[in-house]
Structure 1
Amino acid sequence: MVTAPTTLRDIARACNVSVSTVSRALADNPAIAKKTRQLIQETAKELNYRPNAQARALKSSRTDAIGVVVPSLVNPFFAAMAAAIEDEANQAGYATIITSSGESSPKITEAIEALRARQVDGIIAVPHIEAAEMLEDVALSIPLLFIDRHLEGSNIPAVISDAAPGIKAALEALNSRGHHKVGYLAGPQTTSTGRDRLQDFRRYAEELGMDQIVHHGGYLHEEGFRGTQKLLEQQPTAIIAGDSMMTFGALEACYRENVDIGKQLALIGFDDFVFMRIQPAPVAIIDQSVEHMGRTALRNLVQSFSAKSPPEGAVVKTRFIPRESIEFTP
């Protein structure tokens, strides 16, 4: 048997007060005596009262919900990002609706339109270059904040990482150990992260006089695997992977080819996940603090609601974490 949900009228009857008094007491309005507020709030809890979110949204023109669009929830980087946003949102009193776009323009368009139909208060999205026009249009009617990537020529703010400090420190660490031929697994050049990281790698490797071997791939495990196999054929003494999924692929390729990481090859990955630390030779990492990025994006978006202005972007510096995977010296 399904029990009807508790209403304000039920609480008012139990406490022998008016419905308006119950409503104000549950909102913690100081106009209601503290003793009465406590009685009503305790009674509401005992009766398992749940506020009607839809009614509250109609009254306030807000849904207390935030949309999040990431390329993939299989990728641990984006999964961690979504989890950080969700946790920060919960602490701020917001629900989250999380969806993935599959690195596809049609899918990100569908995801954004679905979130708009649900009248979320704002959206945090990893953008796709082919959906730029649609995203610009969305930003005119709802607070929109990019995360992880930015779009060239767009005025939409973004919370991104600056890969330069981490890549520079990683190359300096390799150079100090005598590495002069370094392979790099580059991300797709259709993304700002792929372009910026490759530019930083080329710039600092050139400054250090290092020979560069670049494999142009994508943010997929398979790309890291195939790319590493191709790089190994050219016998670099070190390899840097441009994201976490390609790092996993690089690890598998090294194991498949019986390359002893840390003894026959130096390997540096991206993003500090626990899997990197439990390898036979824990993997040195360029870390972009994904949790900090997610929480910053959520806070900036929420602040824009009260400020009634576009959300602010932010830049998070990367850092290099040396580990046993770079102990090999040629």
Structure 2
Amino acid sequence: MKKGKATIHDIAEKLNITASTVSRALNDNPRISENTKKQVLKMAKQLNYQPNHIASALRSGKSKLIGVLVPTANRNFFSSVVRGIEDIANELDYKVIISQSYEDPEKEIQTVDALLNARVDGIIASIGKNTENFDHFKKILEKGIPLVLFDRITNELEVSQVVIDDYYGAYETTKHLIEQGCRRIAHFTSPKKINIYRERLRGYEDAIRDANIPFDPELIEESDMQLEDGRSSMENIINKGIEFDAVFSSSDYAVMGALQVLREHKISVPNQVKLAGFGNEPFTSFTAPPITTVDQKSIPMGRVTAETFFELLKSEDKKSATHKTVLKPELIIRESSLKTN
């Protein structure tokens, strides 16, 4: 065997059979005997044969690969969604290629191109918070390739979408804080044009108004919602002397930053200020006190997203098969937001 990657021709030569027989055996063709399949698989393993997905896709029209594009994989939410996607994909003998945009629009564009060049059968994506032009996603649709968006979506694309009810999650969280006696609830949000933050802000505002509490724009802090942003938002409110008795953050990371600053200022949580976040990141249950948050049902979201993708993949009319699925989040109440005696 010549140096380099093993091919089906190398396997065929070793077993003294044709390359087409090897190909059929590797694809579990019923015309090939079980004994031949076993010999082919054994030799493929010995030669460390790796299938050429692009060549296979060109021959069959299917690569059995799905591209999954997320802003970042080091967040529990996104990694759990990917796990849910893989649960369904693996059952159907599909493999998942995971790529990260790191919230960079240029990287997002390059990644979409790379996935298309890899001949994926379709793409599942969550849009980066800095993305404002969606031409790269439109290119996917123009090529007739299935595209499903989850969590971070846009109404500029007519595609299937899977989201949670961010409005409901925010409304219920704000309502809970009001029921605990809070009247001056600060809200951390993002100025980015992303559906999730708009809906969470809307839920917060409606809960405030429904409780006949005057809406105060001074209590709204906009940032990128990272831990350091939560710290600076909390410092801003304290330094301005704005009266507040609670913080509801659209991000667990930002509320963690707020908790750090409140401790540094010797402000007691939840005695003086109550806290609630959004996302149910694992660290929220280990802080002192544990932080109230909203569970986004990430694994079920991944499974539903994958199911939506495969329905779209087998549909004759891709456009008419598009639909939006809205999952219900769950408010997880912990010590950080509870009224004390």
The TM-score, its normalising length taken from structure 1, stands at: 0.85
The answer as to 2:264 corresponding to 1:248 is: no
- Name the residue aligned to 2:165: 162
Mean CA deviation greater in 234-243 or 83-92: 83-92
1:31 and 1:146, CA in 2 relative to 1: closer, same or farther beyond 3 A? same
- Name the residue aligned to 2:232: 226
Native 8 Å contact 1:12 1:18 kept in 2: yes
- Name the residue aligned to 1:112: 112
The answer as to 2:336 corresponding to 1:325 is: yes
Question: Map of 1:206-285 to 2, 5 A cutoff?
Answer: 206-212=209-215, 213-232=219-238, 233-285=241-293
CA distance, structure 2, for counterparts of residue 35 and residue 125 of structure 1: 42
- Name the residue aligned to 1:93: 93
Deviation, 1:173, is: 2.3
CA distance, structure 2, for counterparts of residue 214 and residue 47 of structure 1: 62
Native 8 Å contact 2:169 2:203 kept in 1: no
1:114 and 1:24, CA in 2 relative to 1: closer, same or farther beyond 3 A? closer
CA distance, structure 1, for counterparts of residue 135 and residue 105 of structure 2: 11
The total of aligned residue pairs comes to 329
CA distance, structure 2, for counterparts of residue 40 and residue 329 of structure 1: 69
CA distance, structure 2, for counterparts of residue 21 and residue 113 of structure 1: 34
Native 8 Å contact 2:159 2:323 kept in 1: no
- Name the residue aligned to 1:315: 326
Q: Which of 125, 132, 135 is 2:134 aligned to?
A: 132
Native 8 Å contact 1:145 1:313 kept in 2: no
The TM-score, its normalising length taken from structure 2, stands at: 0.83
The residue identity in structure 1 corresponding to 2:26 is L
CA distance, structure 2, for counterparts of residue 244 and residue 82 of structure 1: 20
The residue identity in structure 2 corresponding to 1:136 is K
Native 8 Å contact 1:149 1:158 kept in 2: no
Q: Can you give the 5+ residue segments of structure 1 that lack an aligned partner in the other structure?
A: none
**Counterpart of 2:304 in 1: which secondary structure?**
helix
Deviation, 1:319, is: 1.2
1:269 and 1:53, CA in 2 relative to 1: closer, same or farther beyond 3 A? same
Deviation, 1:164, is: 2.8
Q: Deviations over 1:19-70 (max 9, x none)?
A: 4333323322222333443444445445544333232122123333332333
Percentage of matched positions with identical amino acids: 28
Mean CA deviation greater in 94-103 or 180-189: 94-103
1:240 and 1:305, CA in 2 relative to 1: closer, same or farther beyond 3 A? same
CA distance, structure 1, for counterparts of residue 12 and residue 135 of structure 2: 51
The answer as to 2:296 corresponding to 1:288 is: yes
Q: Deviations over 1:298-325 (max 9, x none)?
A: 3322332222425543212111011111
